[in-house]
A and B are shown apart, each in its own frame.
Chain A
Amino acid sequence: MFAYILRRVLYAIPILIGVNLLTFALFFVVNTPDDMARLQLGVKHVTPEAIERWKVEHGYDKPLLLNAEATGSAQFTDTIFFQHSAAMFAFEFGKGDDGRDIGNEIRTRMGPSLAIALPVLVIGLMVNITFALLMVFFRATYLDLWGVVLCVVLMSISGLFYIIAGQYFIAKLWNLLPISGFAGGIDGFRFILLPVLVSVVAGIGSGARWYRTIFLEEIGRDYVRTARAKGLSEVRVLFRHVLKNGMIPILTGVVVVLPLLFMGSLITESFFGIPGLGSYTIDAIQAQDFAVVRAMVFLGSFLYIVGLILTDISYSWVDPRVRLQ
């Protein structure tokens, strides 16, 4: 088991290198620093001097891969690749266009992101599973049929609509909760409520429908018939036998996104003015701050791979067939 996990961890390294090379290619080769400068400074009236100045300011004035002018190891270290791409392995992301340290920003913004994303995940999971189990319990009745139709309707509505409608009705019209903003501590609770509510509702459609499919697949299996033949009640069959098996794919699906919770949600955070990593990312994209985008790409990939490894571990933890073989 330990060897297996170690192997998975080591497998993550080539993946991260691949991500790194890909971002390097996208940001520095396909799209040269000159192009970036031109885009930032405005295409029309730009002088070569201004471009040079911009490049120096951002540290993009070095050669890409090999610095022929430098000597010794500086030949490799005094390059864009080393300073802007390879450095990310040490979690050194440099500074954004606003001059702030990206690493610092990430550390302070993780908290607010998590404050929204974690409740959304936990509450959403509970709501969706309850809804799905209800539909499965009433399967092949009109209740189930209309439940599925409701799910399809809910998932056909744009996520943006949920946010705008929530903000408009709950916050603006009925004045129940603040429309946006964030605060730390207990005081922050009322700010969190609306975004969490909106995100959970937005996720019910696809979530409950997916879980229903999983449970229905389990309920058609032979062991369910065995359990019924023992004389167990339908509720007990559902909760003890079906739920236990159905939770395996559900839980592993959840584990993979756990680390990504730190990244927050782009749209929710930006609409509700949450100072998390999601709104940080979106601001960077809109301001075309390449350093931040690069950092977030790397961080996202890193967290995703952590999620993959956690999934492997959790799989062997919840499923005895994997654990004991």
Chain B
Amino acid sequence: MSFMPVILWTDALIFALLAAVLALVWFIRRHEHLLAPWRVVAQRPMAMGAALVLGAFVVIGLLDSLHYRERLADSPADAPQYSVEVLSVFDALVSGLRTRQEKTYSAPLAMQLYAKEFIERDGETVRDYPRLKYGGAHLAQADDHRHDIARRALVGLAQGLAVSLLLFGLLAAWQGRRTQMDFGVWLTAWGTGRLGWPGRTVVLILAIMLMLAGVLVQLASGYHVFGTDKVGQDVLYITLKSIRTGLVIGTLTTLVTLPLAIGFGIAAGYFRGWVDDVIQYVYTVLNSIPGVLLIAAAVLIVQVYIESHPEVFDTAAARADVRLLALCLIMGVTSWTGLARLLRGESLKLRTLDYVEAARAFGVSHARIISRHIFPNVFHLVLIAIVLDFSGLVLAEAVLSYVGVGVDPSMYSWGNMINGARLELAREPVVWWQLGAAFAFMFALVLAANLFADGVRDAFDPRLGGRR
């Protein structure tokens, strides 16, 4: 084999989570009353548009979670040796971005380095901005620079548009066949927004995303679209790699939170009495410690462990991964209290309802009452909490990395990007592209998550929604 698959801890958990989500989708599809609120979500243009953007992020994140190590070219076949560098399928797809490394900073789409150097020109040594090794290297003349960029952008736009139109045609054909509609009729229904689902928004957002992707691909093949960082690495590549980190923190943390919040919250509300007292005590204690400090303390401890047990980790990626997982665990342990409190309150209310009394009148066991009567009726709150917490966690990563208790400094993450670029703001002229790229991608992900969360909450909690 020319490569060896590597399954990091977070990879395993991510795919376990994916499997769980798919199982849940399958389950929900079979239950009409569970499906109904999702139909409401599916009818909201804002939520569906956001879901599309989220989907794009998730695909990149998943591709970036399939890891492997390449076999060293000169190693013997019977005793293969593998590179210490852990790559992912995503890396393979964008290998150009990864390998085209410059010397140091360069501005977005630039042809020259950001810093002056002594270079040989016409036999003389002058101090000037040198041409980049890769960015715009295909251009013989510096004058063609703007023209080339415009051309590539247009080509990318056209390609994106073409793909969108193709997809739209396929969609129309499929939909037309399914609903027995004439193409023209379907098109009018689509154009006037009477499809029963937000067709216009979905198609529009998809087209915009495809065109953006087209432009990016075209430009990235010849330039560093977002420039390069201090060590000359492509910022677009770093930003895209950071997506996985954001997603892992946003999802795995919740995964840690859920069993704690659901177990303790429902137990406290349902059993009351001393169980409630103990659980309330635990969560008041946890709540009272400032979150950042608790996370900081725990992360410092993990750091000590990692540094004193170097033999456990065979690669740097595995080390960084364990630290990421530890961060998710710690944030999960410190953030279950909010949801637990909510579930406790709801369970307190539910346990007095007549259908629970009716079950008690039959002598139904506590475990059964909780699993059949309480849990299904608080599940919507859990779901709302998952989607609402996601964006907050992505934002928190940046802050924690800034404080120095976030992900491993060697890991690609928006927090590390911001932290690394912050000091460069003092330079003249300013190195802004790293910050800009990190903030822009983070904003896109968080905004999409928030808009989607809004849609989910309105559909699942009619008390808050509906009055829009």
Q: Does A6 contact B (CB under 8 A)?
A: no
Which residues on the B side are within 8 Å of A148 (C-beta)? 468
Which residues on the B side are within 8 Å of A220 (C-beta)? 467
| Partner of A15 from B285, B292, B468 at Cβ < 8 Å | B285
Q: Judging by beta carbons under 8 Å apart, are A152 and B447 in contact?
A: yes
Q: Does A183 contact B (CB under 8 A)?
A: no
Known A15-B284, A35-B308, A285-B404; judge A297-B443 contact (CB<8 A).
Answer: no
Q: Min CB distance, A253 to chain B, in Å?
A: 13
Stretch from B294-302, B345-353, B376-384 at the A interface: B294-302
Q: Judging by beta carbons under 8 Å apart, are B422 and A164 in contact?
A: yes
Q: Does A300 contact B (CB under 8 A)?
A: yes
* Contact bitstring A129-165, B, C-beta under 8 A = 1, else 0: 0000000000110000100100011011111110010
Q: Does B189 contact A (CB under 8 A)?
A: no
| Partner of B450 from A23, A152, A267 at Cβ < 8 Å | A152
Q: Does B399 contact A (CB under 8 A)?
A: yes
Q: Does A255 contact B (CB under 8 A)?
A: no
**B-facing residues in A288-325 (Cβ within 8 Å):** 288, 290, 293, 296-297, 300-301, 304-305, 308
Q: Judging by beta carbons under 8 Å apart, are B446 and A22 in contact?
A: no
Q: Judging by beta carbons under 8 Å apart, are B451 and A19 in contact?
A: no
Q: Judging by beta carbons under 8 Å apart, are A300 and B289 in contact?
A: yes
Chain A residue at smallest Cβ distance from B401? A160
Q: Does B293 contact A (CB under 8 A)?
A: yes
| Partner of B296 from A22, A293, A308 at Cβ < 8 Å | A293
Q: Judging by beta carbons under 8 Å apart, are B300 and A158 in contact?
A: no
| Partner of A31 from B300, B403, B468 at Cβ < 8 Å | B300
Q: Does A43 contact B (CB under 8 A)?
A: yes
Which residues on the A side are within 8 Å of B296 (C-beta)? 285, 293
> Looking at B284, B288, B289, B395, which has the most chain A CB atoms within 10 Å of its CB?
B288
Q: Does B113 contact A (CB under 8 A)?
A: no
Q: Min CB distance, A297 to chain B, in Å?
A: 5
Q: Does A26 contact B (CB under 8 A)?
A: yes
Q: Judging by beta carbons under 8 Å apart, are B294 and A31 in contact?
A: no
Q: Does A216 contact B (CB under 8 A)?
A: yes
Q: Judging by beta carbons under 8 Å apart, are B289 and A19 in contact?
A: yes
Q: Does A30 contact B (CB under 8 A)?
A: yes
Which residues on the B side are within 8 Å of A18 (C-beta)? 281-282, 285
* Contact bitstring B292-324, A, C-beta under 8 A = 1, else 0: 111011101101100110000000000000000
Q: Judging by beta carbons under 8 Å apart, are A300 and B288 in contact?
A: yes
Q: Does B416 contact A (CB under 8 A)?
A: no
| Partner of A216 from B285, B294, B442, B467 at Cβ < 8 Å | B467
Known A26-B297, A26-B298, A152-B454; judge A263-B468 contact (CB<8 A).
Answer: no
> Looking at B285, B293, B298, which has the most chain A CB atoms within 10 Å of its CB?
B293
Q: Judging by beta carbons under 8 Å apart, are A293 and B281 in contact?
A: no
Which residues on the A side are within 8 Å of B387 (C-beta)? none
Q: Does A91 contact B (CB under 8 A)?
A: no
Which residues on the A side are within 8 Å of B304 (C-beta)? 31, 35-36, 38-39
Which residues on the B side are within 8 Å of A159 (C-beta)? 395, 399
Which residues on the A side are within 8 Å of B451 (C-beta)? 152
Interface SS of B by simple majority: helix
> Looking at B281, B289, B405, which has the most chain A CB atoms within 10 Å of its CB?
B289
Q: Does B262 contact A (CB under 8 A)?
A: no
Q: Does B84 contact A (CB under 8 A)?
A: no
Which residues on the A side are within 8 Å of B290 (C-beta)? 260, 263, 296-297, 300-301, 304
Which residues on the B side are within 8 Å of A158 (C-beta)? 395, 398-399, 418, 439, 442-443, 446
**A-facing residues in B380-429 (Cβ within 8 Å):** 391, 395, 398-399, 402-405, 418, 422, 425
CA distance A297 to B288 in the complex (A): 9
* Contact bitstring A59-98, B, C-beta under 8 A = 1, else 0: 0000000000000000000000000000000000000000
| Partner of B447 from A156, A263, A281, A305 at Cβ < 8 Å | A156
Chain B residue at smallest Cβ distance from A152? B450
Q: Min CB distance, B440 to chain A, in Å?
A: 10
CA distance A305 to B293 in the complex (A): 16
Q: Judging by beta carbons under 8 Å apart, are B405 and A157 in contact?
A: no
* Contact bitstring B108-146, A, C-beta under 8 A = 1, else 0: 000000000000000000000000000000000000000
> Looking at A22, A30, A220, A285, which has the most chain B CB atoms within 10 Å of its CB?
A285
Q: Does A266 contact B (CB under 8 A)?
A: yes
**A-facing residues in B228-242 (Cβ within 8 Å):** none
Q: Min CB distance, B296 to chain A, in Å?
A: 5
| Partner of B399 from A14, A153, A160 at Cβ < 8 Å | A160
CA distance A153 to B449 in the complex (A): 11
Q: Does A233 contact B (CB under 8 A)?
A: no
Chain B residue at smallest Cβ distance from A168? B425
Q: Judging by beta carbons under 8 Å apart, are B297 and A297 in contact?
A: yes
Known A31-B300, A159-B395, A164-B425; judge A19-B293 contact (CB<8 A).
Answer: no
Q: Judging by beta carbons under 8 Å apart, are A22 and B289 in contact?
A: yes
Q: Judging by beta carbons under 8 Å apart, are A293 and B467 in contact?
A: no
Q: Min CB distance, A312 to chain B, in Å?
A: 13
Which residues on the A side are within 8 Å of B301 (C-beta)? 26, 30-31
Which residues on the A side are within 8 Å of B292 (C-beta)? 266, 281, 285
* Contact bitstring B431-453, A, C-beta under 8 A = 1, else 0: 00001000100110011011100
Q: Judging by beta carbons under 8 Å apart, are B281 and A39 in contact?
A: no
Q: Does B287 contact A (CB under 8 A)?
A: yes
Which residues on the B side are within 8 Å of A304 (C-beta)? 287-290
Q: Does B464 contact A (CB under 8 A)?
A: yes
Q: Min CB distance, B354 to chain A, in Å?
A: 24
CA distance A282 to B419 in the complex (A): 14
Q: Min CB distance, B71 to chain A, in Å?
A: 31
CA distance A23 to B450 in the complex (A): 35
Q: Min CB distance, B311 to chain A, in Å?
A: 13
Which residues on the B side are within 8 Å of A30 (C-beta)? 301
Which residues on the B side are within 8 Å of A182 (C-beta)? none
Which residues on the B side are within 8 Å of A39 (C-beta)? 300, 303-304, 307
Q: Min CB distance, A211 to chain B, in Å?
A: 13
Q: Min CB distance, B258 to chain A, in Å?
A: 22
* Contact bitstring A7-37, B, C-beta under 8 A = 1, else 0: 0000000110011001100110011000110
Q: Min CB distance, A144 to chain B, in Å?
A: 8
CA distance A30 to B451 in the complex (A): 41
Given A19-B289, A145-B468, 15 further pairs, Cβ under 8 A = A36-B304, A39-B307, A43-B308, A152-B450, A156-B447, A156-B450, A158-B442, A158-B446, A161-B439, A164-B435, A168-B430, A296-B290, A297-B297, A301-B290, A304-B287
Could you list 26 A-B pairs, sorted by A, with CB under 8 Å?
A: A18-B282, A19-B288, A23-B289, A26-B298, A31-B300, A35-B304, A140-B468, A152-B451, A155-B450, A157-B446, A158-B399, A159-B395, A160-B399, A161-B443, A164-B418, A216-B467, A285-B296, A285-B404, A288-B300, A293-B293, A296-B293, A297-B297, A300-B289, A304-B287, A305-B288, A308-B288
Leading 7 A-B pairs by shortest Cβ distance: A300-B290, A156-B447, A18-B285, A301-B288, A156-B446, A304-B288, A31-B301
- The residues of B with any CB-CB pair to A shorter than 8 Å are 281-282, 284-285, 287-290, 292-294, 296-298, 300-301, 303-304, 307-308, 391, 395, 398-399, 402-405, 418, 422, 425, 430, 435, 439, 442-443, 446-447, 449-451, 454, 463-464, 467-468
